[in-house]
Structure 1
């Protein structure tokens, strides 16, 4: 069995300035989601995430092709980090993404989860008003940017993949190593390795990755940078109630409180369009076909890659 280690990391730079609803009390100085925009003006912008996806209002775009995943089948060593407000799993540069009408090639930075408490719903995105038990985000930045800070200045500089979970009778077997790692990083600033991890093991089969929603949005934590091409997959991931409860029991916020209900409330759509790939009943027309091939000089809201 591989030996575990725990490393102390510097505290998150802005952790003392914002918090989730579950942390907030009248005695705290941190700003809850309703007040993030006071310290971070982008959080009050018109392209904020997450959103509620209303399926009857989604626009079919037949020009949205499958995404191309690179390095997702490789066994890699990753690092779990408690950032005080969430847990990130840092990914190597060998994990990459292209296709899907995205305007370039992207490399992965990290993935993280959003969850509730005691097995209750905790996803950020909702579908027709339904909040799911948990949500996985995989964060990528466009090449050749070297950091998230650089990519944030490009309206499509960040590609974020979202997978929603549904509760199942059986465990998702490949989540247990992540939950175990979280148990080693209970406190803000700590880190621990996950050995021989393969990203593909926690994702749906390749055949289920062709169907997704696409819209333009933002990061869901401050500073809420509006530079994200969101891909929300139709196919859900399984997780047992036992695992849901375990996830929410592992870590603590920078305040020392249990790290629970770490999701931002849904934000107004503000005129944006949500697209859908590979609908069950597709009626091609000139408008939807053109949407996917507009050049980057067009507005991102009207482009197939948003």
Structure 2
């Protein structure tokens, strides 16, 4: 009876794997699609505007990119956190919005999530001159009046994604403690919790401090790799201590039950795209 139950469980897992995708750190009897094989199951992942990318600072085009305007970032909200099996998503209310930054319209927030490595390995998705950072924050926004990612994917700028890279510091970043504690409460696929009295402004700087950033057109970094993203990667990094980073990496598990580590997609070819930088605007004001 025990063997029969084991066999049924194994068959169910392998059946699930065939319809799933994996990161390179996962193992599922070679039936999951790791990043190198995503395009065989999700064709858009093989497109010409894929993300993330390596940003070569000597080749970016300096241009006059305006500042952002954040709406609702200082509001006190309750955030639902759910383990999605590949990462943990922090759902944001539609009252959190974004304008400016040379984006073509108004955008409503959907969720934010993180990408990290494991066992001391860096885990950012974007790299700067080949350097991978310890962790990366993505805040996903959907262009109005679209109601979902599925609707927005038909617009090349239907999704606005704000990205922040983390640098490791000696001292803890106390503003990350509620986020880290929440990750500890969603260890398994499908588990969820709520962070009460949360403000997005607690973990990201105010708009007035975010004038310097990179911009390019790309895609979501997980299947189906929708090529509808206006990417903004801020030059200003966020801080996280080594102790906090270890706590982030150690708490969640993939849908396969394995530790959730190295949850980043390798960088993709630029394929002729141009990366713009607003740094010249900032330098000009300071100069």
One fold, TM greater than 0.5? yes
Name the structure 2 match of 1:232. 233
| Cα separation, 2, equivalents of 1:172 and 1:207 | 21
Q: Give CA-to-partner distance per residue, 1:86-143, whole Å, 9 cap, x none.
A: 1000000100001011010000000000000023200000000000000000000000
Q: Give CA-to-partner distance per residue, 1:155-214, whole Å, 9 cap, x none.
A: 110000000000011111111111111111101011100000000110124432111000
Contact conserved, 1:116 with 1:134, CA < 8 A, in 2?
yes
Alignment length (residue pairs) = 269
Name the structure 2 match of 1:21. 24
Name the structure 1 match of 2:247. 246
Contact conserved, 2:67 with 2:208, CA < 8 A, in 1?
no
Name the structure 2 match of 1:116. 117
Q: Give CA-to-partner distance per residue, 1:203-252, whole Å, 9 cap, x none.
A: 12443211100000000000000000000000000000001110011110
Is 1:57 matched with 2:56?
no
Q: What pairs up with 1:27-42 in 2 under 5 angstroms?
A: 27-42=29-44
Name the structure 1 match of 2:11. none
| Cα separation, 2, equivalents of 1:46 and 1:252 | 32
Of Structure 1 and Structure 2, the greater helix share is in 2
Query: Could you say if the C-alpha distance between residues 122 and 36 of structure 1 is closer, same or farther in structure 2, counting changes exceeding 3 Å?
Result: same
TM-score (norm 2): 0.91
| Cα separation, 2, equivalents of 1:109 and 1:81 | 13
* Structure 2, gaps ≥5 residues long: 1-15
* Structure 1, gaps ≥5 residues long: 1-12, 283-306
C-alpha displacement of 1:281: 5.1
| Cα separation, 2, equivalents of 1:97 and 1:234 | 18
Name the structure 1 match of 2:147. 146
Q: Secondary structure at the match of 2:223?
A: coil
Q: What pairs up with 1:73-112 in 2 under 5 angstroms?
A: 73-112=74-113
Contact conserved, 1:80 with 1:89, CA < 8 A, in 2?
yes
| Cα separation, 2, equivalents of 1:16 and 1:235 | 38
Q: What pairs up with 1:184-203 in 2 under 5 angstroms?
A: 184-203=185-204
Query: Could you say if the C-alpha distance between residues 146 and 206 of structure 1 is closer, same or farther in structure 2, counting changes exceeding 3 Å?
Result: closer
Query: Could you say if the C-alpha distance between residues 177 and 28 of structure 1 is closer, same or farther in structure 2, counting changes exceeding 3 Å?
Result: same
| Cα separation, 2, equivalents of 1:89 and 1:51 | 24
Query: Could you say if the C-alpha distance between residues 15 and 78 of structure 1 is closer, same or farther in structure 2, counting changes exceeding 3 Å?
Result: farther
Contact conserved, 1:79 with 1:191, CA < 8 A, in 2?
yes
Contact conserved, 1:118 with 1:244, CA < 8 A, in 2?
no
Contact conserved, 1:24 with 1:32, CA < 8 A, in 2?
no
Query: Could you say if the C-alpha distance between residues 15 and 176 of structure 1 is closer, same or farther in structure 2, counting changes exceeding 3 Å?
Result: farther
Q: Secondary structure at the match of 1:17?
A: coil
TM-score (norm 1): 0.85
Name the structure 1 match of 2:215. 214
Question: Structure 1: which 4+ aligned runs deviate by more than 3 Å?
Answer: 13-16
Contact conserved, 1:214 with 1:275, CA < 8 A, in 2?
yes
C-alpha displacement of 1:15: 8.9
